[in-house]
Amino acid sequence: MSILRDLENLLREIAEQQQGQPRPGPPRSAPQRPPVSRPTPVDAEVLDAEIVDAEPVRRRAAVTQHVEKHLDTGDVTAHAAQLGAEVGLADEKVEAHLRQKFDHELGRMSDPEDEAGAAAGAAFAARIAELFRNPQSIQQAFILNEIINRPEQRWS
């Protein structure tokens, strides 16, 4: 119902503005302040202090006793041990699976560079053996060595 009341107020304000009449404002009342009560002074009472040698507080022992009294740590310990065992088993399973997978893959894999290198090495060895069978090719090998490794120490 407040929407209807707001709408009526809005329409009334518009009509008053069109007629040039000032709209009546809400009634103003002076703000009321609560009466201030002043505290009455009281004479302070003097007390004698007494020094007491108290026993040292043993908090760690008190906390331990409280925990032992209110919490059953046996369940927590058993649950932690069970979780540790489960994690250990899962770790072993993953490790076994990885070992099986990669050992199997490595056994089947062959490096094409090793095969090509072995074939090239065998062909190179056969070519060198053929060069040493011919005296003229040995002479060419010596000349080539002199060109590549210049004998500068013999020239001085």
Q: Where are the domains of the chain?
A: 76-109, 112-156
pLDDT value at residue 31: 63
DSSP per-residue string spanning 100-135: HHHHHHHHH---HHHHHHHHHHHHHHHHHHHHHHSH
pLDDT band at residue 10 using 50, 70 and 90 as cut-offs: confident
pTM assigned to the model:
0.26
pLDDT one-digit tens code per residue, 12-71: 998 888 887 555 565 566 567 777 777 777 777 887 877 776 665 567 777 777 777 777
* Three-point CA angle 113, 119, 122, nearest 5°: 135
